[in-house]
Structure 1
Amino acid sequence: MNVLFCVGKSYFPIYPSIVRRLEALGAHVTCLMYDQARDKQNIVRAIGGAAVYITAVAPADREVIDAAPGLKYILKTGTGLDNVDIEYATEKGILVSNAPGENAMSVAELAIGLMVAISRQIPQLDRQTKEGTWFHSNGFELNGKTLGIIGFGTIGQKIAKIAGAFGMHRIAYGAYRDDDAAARLNTRFVTLDQVLSDSDYLMISTALRKTNYHLIDAEALKKMKPSAFLINISRGALTDEQALFQALRKKAIGGAALDVFEQEPPEEPLPCLDNLITTPHIGGTTEESVERVAQVTIDNIRRFMHGEPLNHLANGNELKKAHHI
C-alpha cells in the first residue's frame, strides 16, 4: 500500500520513526517535507499512486484528490480540517480522519502562557533587559478578570479549567454548547456581543468555517473594551488581521497575542508593536502531543489495512448517506 506523507514542521524530529513504523505494517511511504509541500504541484505529482494521504497543513483539496485516482483515506495529523475538502472526499468515497483532542492540552497551555505574556509584557521586557535597559512596567493580573472563550470544545474547556486556577471569571460563545461542561467549569454561555463587550481577555479557540471567516473584524473590535486583550490560538482567518493591526496601532484595545495567521508564514512582515506578541503556530506542537498524534495516525492506518473501524472518522455518516451503505 502506497502512502504519501506530507511532513509538517513539528514532525521533523520524529518522522523517520513514523515512517519505520508504517513500513513495518507493510506500507511504502513517500515523504514530502514542509517546504516541498508548500508548492501544491509537488503534491499533485507525488500523490498519483497513493492509497493513503497523511497531511498536517498541506492541502487535500479537489485538485489534489483528483490527482490520486486510487486514494482511499486521508489522515489529518491534528484537529482542524479546514485544509481538507471533506465534501468532495466524501463524494469520491474517501475516508477522512483527524486526531481531535490529542494536542488540546498543548494548545491550552500556550493560550494561558500567551495571556500571561501579553499581560506582563514578558517578551518586550526580556528584549529590553538583554539590551541593557532596566525598565519597570506595571502589568495586569489574571485574577478576577473575565475570560471570554469563543469556541467551547475540547480546547476551550481545557483553557477554562486552567483559567479557573487563576481565579478568572469565564464566559463562552459558540455554536457548540456543552452545558454540562460549562456548569462543571463554572462557565456561562453568552451572546457574541456579550463575549466581545464583557471580556478582559478574548480567546479564540473555535474551528474555522465559511460562516465565521473574519469573525473578529473591525466592527467586532469596536465592541471590545479599550483595555481588552485578544488571543488567537485557532486559525488566523478567524481574525481580520489588518483591522486588528489598525486597532493595535490606535490602541483601541489593550493588545493581542497571535499564534496563527491567515497566511503562514505571513506574506508581509508583521508590525513591530509593543502591544502585539506572536508565535509561529506552535500551539499544538509539543514533544508529547506530536507523539500522541503520531500514534493515532499509525494505529488508524493499521486499522485501515486490516478493515477495522477507524478512530476519529470525520465523514463516516456522510459516506454512508452518500453511498447508501
Structure 2
Amino acid sequence: MSVEISMRIAILDDYQRVALQYARWDMLGRDCDIQVFDRNLSSIDEAANALADFDVLCLMRERMPLPRELIERLPRLKLVIVTGARTRTIDLEAAASHGVTVCHTHPGESQYATPELAWGLILSCARSIPEEHRHVREGRWQETIGLSLGGKTLGLLGLGKLGSHMVPIARAFGMDVVAWSQNLTEERAASLQARRVDKDELFRLSDVVSIHLILGERTRRLVGAHEFGLMKPSAILVNTSRGPIVDEAAMIQALQTRKIRAAGLDVFDQEPLPPDHPLRTIPNAVLTPHLGYVTEGAYRAFFEDTVEGIAAWRAGNPVRVLAAPV
C-alpha cells in the first residue's frame, strides 16, 4: 500500500554520503521523502532550482549559505536544521519573515577535534609528512629536512574554547606558548599556561602561528602582508578557523617567495576549493578539506539531533530555535 508523501527533506552537502547511517531517519515516518545531496550547490540559481520542492533543509555547518535571495526562492520551505551551535551564513530575519523556523543541533566535539587536526597540520608542515609520504610511494627516499618543535614557540591567535586546548599539547612537546586576541588579558593567558603578547610580537616570536578566532568584522583579513613580513622564514602558519581571517593573496605570496616555511590550511576563502586554485599547486602548503569537525562522534551527534529537531518541529514543539516565524 502506497503512502502519500507529506514532507520532503533535503540533506545538503553530505560529501561522504553517510548522513543516513548516523541516525534513525525512519522514525520521522513513511510520509517523509528524504533526498541526500553529496555535492555543494555552488550558486543561488543552482540551489533554488534543486531545492524548490523541499519543506525541510538539513545543513551541515556553514557549507550552504541561506541568504535572503535564496530563501525567497524556496516557496515550500518551512524548517531549516543547521548542525552546530552557531551560524553566520543564514539570514535569520529573512527566514522568520518568510515563515521558516530555523533550529540548530548541539555543537558536537569540535573543541577536541579541531585542535587535534591543527596539530596534525603542524606536524605535517614541520616534518614534511605529506611530501615524504608521496616520495616513498613513488620509490624515492628521504628528501627533506624537518623542523623539531621542542624548544620552539607556539603563537595562538585566540585562546578560547579551541585555542586553550592547544596549550597542553604544546607543553608536552616542550614548546613555549604565547597568545593574543583583542580581549585576552594577561591573567587569562597565565591561567592557561600561556603568555599574552602584542599581536606584532606574537608574529615575530612564533615558530608556529595557529589561528583559533571567530570570523567577524574585527578578525577579517587579520593576518596580512604586514604580519607575514614579521614572521621568521622558518615559521609555519596553521588555520583551522575560517579562511577569510587570512589575506589569501598575501599568504600565497609569502609561501611562493618562501617568506615563511609552510602553511597548514583546513579552511579557505571559497569552499570547496576550486580545482584551479593556486594553493593546490604550492608545494609548501599542506591542505585538508575543512575536516576540523568531521569526526564520527560529531557526525553522529549532528544527525541524531537533526532527526530529533525535525520530529519536535512536526509535533509543534521545536527545540534549539534560532529563528521562528513572525
Q: Same fold (TM over 0.5)?
A: yes
Please tell me whether the aligned partners of residues 260 and 280 of structure 1 are also in contact (alpha carbons under 8 angstroms): yes
Gaps of 5+ in 2: 1-5
Inter-CA distance 274–44: structure 2 relative to 1 (3 Å threshold): closer
- Report SS of the residue matched to 2:140: coil
Inter-CA distance 48–209: structure 2 relative to 1 (3 Å threshold): same
Please tell me whether the aligned partners of residues 23 and 29 of structure 1 are also in contact (alpha carbons under 8 angstroms): no
Please tell me whether the aligned partners of residues 109 and 297 of structure 2 are also in contact (alpha carbons under 8 angstroms): no
Gaps of 5+ in 1: none
Please tell me whether the aligned partners of residues 22 and 29 of structure 1 are also in contact (alpha carbons under 8 angstroms): no
Deviations 1:59-99 (CA, angstroms, capped at 9, x unpaired): 21112222345645432224662432245445657434254
Match of 2:24 among 11, 21, 24: 21
Please tell me whether the aligned partners of residues 28 and 307 of structure 2 are also in contact (alpha carbons under 8 angstroms): no
Deviations 1:37-67 (CA, angstroms, capped at 9, x unpaired): 2343343235446553211211211122223
Match of 1:76 among 82, 99, 104: 82
Inter-CA distance 51–187: structure 2 relative to 1 (3 Å threshold): farther
Distance (Å, rounded) in 2 between the aligned partners of 1:69 and 1:217: 42
Aligned residues with identical type, % of pairs? 31
Please tell me whether the aligned partners of residues 208 and 235 of structure 2 are also in contact (alpha carbons under 8 angstroms): yes
Q: How much is the aligned-residue C-alpha RMSD, in angstroms? A: 3.1
Tell me whether 1:160 sits opposite 2:163 in the alignment.
no
Query: What's the counterpart of residue 2 of structure 1?
Result: 7
Please tell me whether the aligned partners of residues 11 and 290 of structure 1 are also in contact (alpha carbons under 8 angstroms): no
Inter-CA distance 177–85: structure 2 relative to 1 (3 Å threshold): farther
Tell me whether 1:170 sits opposite 2:177 in the alignment.
yes
Give the deviation of 1:3 after TM superposition: 5.2
Query: What's the counterpart of residue 3 of structure 2?
Result: none
Please tell me whether the aligned partners of residues 207 and 235 of structure 1 are also in contact (alpha carbons under 8 angstroms): yes
Query: What's the counterpart of residue 272 of structure 2?
Result: 265
Query: What's the counterpart of residue 122 of structure 1?
Result: 129
Give the deviation of 1:200 after TM superposition: 1.4
Match of 2:71 among 65, 70, 87: 65
Distance (Å, rounded) in 2 between the aligned partners of 1:185 and 1:90: 41
TM alignment of 1:11-160, pairs within 5 A: 11-13=16-18, 15-17=19-21, 21-26=24-29, 28-35=32-39, 37-48=41-52, 50-56=54-60, 57-69=63-75, 71-78=77-84, 81-89=87-95, 94-135=101-142, 137-160=144-167
Inter-CA distance 163–132: structure 2 relative to 1 (3 Å threshold): same
Between the two structures, name the one with larger relative contact order (CA 8 Å, sep ≥ 6): 2
TM-score, normalised to structure 1, is 0.82
Inter-CA distance 96–197: structure 2 relative to 1 (3 Å threshold): farther
Give the deviation of 1:245 after TM superposition: 1.4
